[in-house]
Structure 1
Amino acid sequence: MNEERAKWFVRYNFGYRALALLLAVLLWYFVAGQRNPIVDRTFTRPVEARSLSAQMVLASPLPDIKVTVRGFRSIVQSMSEEDVDAYVDLGGREDGVSFIPVKVKVPSGIQLVKVEPDTIRVSLDYLEEKKVPVRVSVSGEAAPGFTTLTPVIRPDQVVIKGPSRVLGGIQEAQATLAVNGARDNISQKVRVKVAQETSWKLEIRPGTVDVLLPVVSRGPIKTVSVVADLIGKPKPDFKVKDVHVDPAKIDVTGTPQAIANLSQVLTKPVDISGADGQVIRQTELVLPPDIYPVRDDKVKVTVEIGSAETDQLPNE
């Protein structure tokens, strides 16, 4: 009798069997959840503009958004930022400002929890070109006694491409040239930019121009001799046989009063103390007040020292 009742219980009591199966499934999910729980993760992502007409352009950059996703920890932690795709559909949009919902795609098995902000401001404008003149901005100063003249620019105009509203405020492009104590004409290839600050990266063609900046003397130019200023004495029984300065003459400029009676300039002191052979020094010039060199103010001084008992130089 007991055996028949047991068979009946197993065959007909489906409720108990379903309950047991449900408990087993719940227990499995509980154990799996302890090992691989469900977690949230937030990504900061740029928004891509899609389906934008070739005649239109973004008048300002799109903001970044925060995207929160949910899923098993093992899957969420293995996600990269590139797995979160955020964009706005700009197909058929005209110029002006619109507030457009952000669309987000996440991998299969991942739940999209939140998008902040879920709607962004989009400003569109027509893409146009504008030709503007190039102006050279000179930074620094020429060497004392020199000045700069009007620069020559090739080409003297460039084409700027960008949103029409941005181009409306641009009247010229700039090329900055550093002078930094120049005494000669400066010829350089200089990058062109616009002075106005804009969040839009404008296209400028060409991106560089050739600039020739004339640098000239403020006053008259005079050629004078260079004399080496020697200090100290050679080794006993030796004497100076010859002194050579390269260049032997230089061009100087300055006020008419200062340059009128000037016939020579000295070098900085060249020490020959204890020398018994050739002495070579690179040195600078000592210039009177209001006198400036037209070229470099450095010279090479060669002093030949030989025995005082003979007219021959060493190694002759």
Structure 2
Amino acid sequence: MISSKNIDEILTSPWCLWAISVAAALLMWFYVTESDGGGYVTRQFSCPIEYRSLDPQATLRNKVSEVNIEVRGLEEVMARLDYDSISCVVDLRDLSPGKKYTQEVKVNLPPRVSLVSSTPSQVVVDLLRQVVRLMTVEVALPQDIPDGQYLEGVEIVPKEVAVRGGEKDISKIGAVQVQPTVQELQSGKELFLPVKLSQSEPFEDEVNLEPTQVRMKGALVRGLPKKKVPVNVRLTGKPSSDFEVKAVVTEPSEVQVEGTAARLARISAVDTETVDISWISADQHLVVPLKAPDVRGVSVVDLKSVRLSVQLEPVRATTQFPNVPVTLRQGEAAAGWAITPPSVVVTVEGTPSRMADIHPGDVGLQAYVDVSSIFVDSAALPVRTELASKDLKVVKIEPPTVTVTAVEGSAGR
């Protein structure tokens, strides 16, 4: 028979206390499970990866697009689970293009749902430097255009598209084009066409266009193809040495030529007859004949001459006069003064022909200082100049100031 003392020893022993704790924990677990209306369940599905804070000048190469994840929660919670509330995020903040990084995939879960596993839990991020290039949209004409017809009145909106991608891929692009069919051109309607890339090699990565489509107007008409080319002015000789050509302007600046498409492709400009501008000293306004295009079978449409304006501007030259003596100019109270330095270097500007073999005496050049208002024994005064010729001007005096000092023993100051 077990005594009460033995019962107390058994109940207070460590093993008995451990057994009681485990039993209590099991009872609480069963209670919570029953009160929640069911047990725990798991779900497996694919979650797209969201790459955040990507540098605007970078693009991702060979990126992993999704993660396989397994989540766990109570049966009633998982039955109402909204999969859009779960996100998988890779943070790209402060990562530089041109390098590879291993980044953690962070899984964001709603309350009362826990993560069991995610595969992969990390991804390798390969960042490439991205460039944007504006390119003009060209029209690639179909090969089956009927003889005697050509495309006229072409208008593309927008004229340029932005091509975005890695530097190597962008360098492979030769042109961006729209490729209308003959039937579309014959309709004469505004077309909404996709923009296509003409490339020398396959792209290594993704290249994007913005926009991907443009509007195009144009119609097939009968006759010879036409195009506009600039007028090229042919000049010979040089103006007077006192002038140089400021601008050469023609009206119109472009002319229209016509011929077969193959011959028009060889024409880049239409020349004028040669104009001699030797020794002119004023603006010239002339009517100049156009030369026939060099390519046989190509002609200028409805125009035989253009108005030509040759605009001149004066040329300026400078000459230095060294050792120009500095003189005194003073008031009624005359006094003796010493000047240091006694001479200066004067730079004079004028036309090249005027400056040739010029001497200070030829133009009445004088340098002086005014001491009429000086009441001290020594002062630094600015050097002033006079020129008898109004077509010249002094642009520099070196030094710009001289020191005047009263001569000892002079009176009347």
Q: TM-score, length-normalised on structure 1?
A: 0.52
Query: 3-state DSSP class of the match of 2:94?
Result: coil
Matched, 1:120 2:117: no
Matched, 1:39 2:45: no
Measured against aligned partners, the alpha-carbon deviations of 1:245-291 in whole angstroms (never above 9, x if no partner) come to xxxxxxxxxxxxxxxxxxxxxxxxxxxxxxxxxxxxxxxxxxxxxxx
Match of 2:91 in 1: 89
Quick one: distance in 1 between partners of 2:221 and 2:90? 55
Distance 1:49 1:20, change over 3 A: same
Query: 3-state DSSP class of the match of 1:48?
Result: strand
Quick one: distance in 1 between partners of 2:32 and 2:144? 75
Match of 2:180 in 1: 177
Q: CA RMSD in A?
A: 4.1
Match of 2:69 in 1: 67
Match of 1:268 in 2: none
- For the 8 Å contact 1:102–1:119, the answer to whether it is kept is yes
Quick one: distance in 1 between partners of 2:164 and 2:175? 13
Quick one: distance in 1 between partners of 2:186 and 2:114? 70
Match of 1:29 in 2: 29
Quick one: distance in 1 between partners of 2:73 and 2:91? 27
Alignment counterpart, residue 161 of structure 1, candidates 161, 164, 184: 164
Matched, 1:216 2:218: no
Distance 1:24 1:174, change over 3 A: same
Higher Cα Rg, which structure: 2
Aligned-partner residue type, residue 70 of structure 2: T
TM-superposed CA distance for 1:128, in Å, is 2.0
TM-superposed CA distance for 1:27, in Å, is 3.5
Query: 3-state DSSP class of the match of 2:179?
Result: strand
Q: TM-score, length-normalised on structure 2?
A: 0.42
Tell which deviates more after alignment, 60-69 or 27-36. 27-36
Match of 2:139 in 1: 136
Quick one: distance in 2 between partners of 1:65 and 1:91? 20
The sequence identity of aligned pairs, in percent, is 20
- For the 8 Å contact 2:194–2:212, the answer to whether it is kept is no
TM-superposed CA distance for 1:101, in Å, is 2.9
The number of residue pairs the alignment matches comes to 214
Quick one: distance in 2 between partners of 1:122 and 1:213? 49
TM-superposed CA distance for 1:39, in Å, is 2.2
Matched, 1:55 2:61: no
Higher relative contact order, chain-length normalized (CA < 8 Å, sep 6+) = 1
Quick one: distance in 1 between partners of 2:175 and 2:184? 27
Aligned-partner residue type, residue 208 of structure 2: L
Distance 1:73 1:206, change over 3 A: closer
Aligned-partner residue type, residue 54 of structure 1: P
- For the 8 Å contact 1:189–1:211, the answer to whether it is kept is no
Query: 3-state DSSP class of the match of 1:26?
Result: helix
Quick one: distance in 1 between partners of 2:4 and 2:142? 106
Quick one: distance in 2 between partners of 1:172 and 1:150? 21
Measured against aligned partners, the alpha-carbon deviations of 1:162-197 in whole angstroms (never above 9, x if no partner) come to 333332222211213233286565553434243567
Quick one: distance in 1 between partners of 2:31 and 2:142? 72
- For the 8 Å contact 1:145–1:217, the answer to whether it is kept is no
Quick one: distance in 1 between partners of 2:208 and 2:106? 29
Q: Which runs of 5+ in 2 are unaligned?
A: 225-413
Quick one: distance in 1 between partners of 2:90 and 2:12? 53
- For the 8 Å contact 2:131–2:164, the answer to whether it is kept is yes
Matched, 1:202 2:208: yes
- For the 8 Å contact 2:138–2:177, the answer to whether it is kept is yes
Aligned-partner residue type, residue 65 of structure 2: P
Distance 1:182 1:213, change over 3 A: closer
Distance 1:49 1:13, change over 3 A: same
Quick one: distance in 2 between partners of 1:206 and 1:62? 25
TM-superposed CA distance for 1:66, in Å, is 0.9
Measured against aligned partners, the alpha-carbon deviations of 1:198-249 in whole angstroms (never above 9, x if no partner) come to 663624258524342424379xxxxxxxxxxxxxxxxxxxxxxxxxxxxxxx
Quick one: distance in 2 between partners of 1:77 and 1:201? 42
- For the 8 Å contact 1:88–1:100, the answer to whether it is kept is no
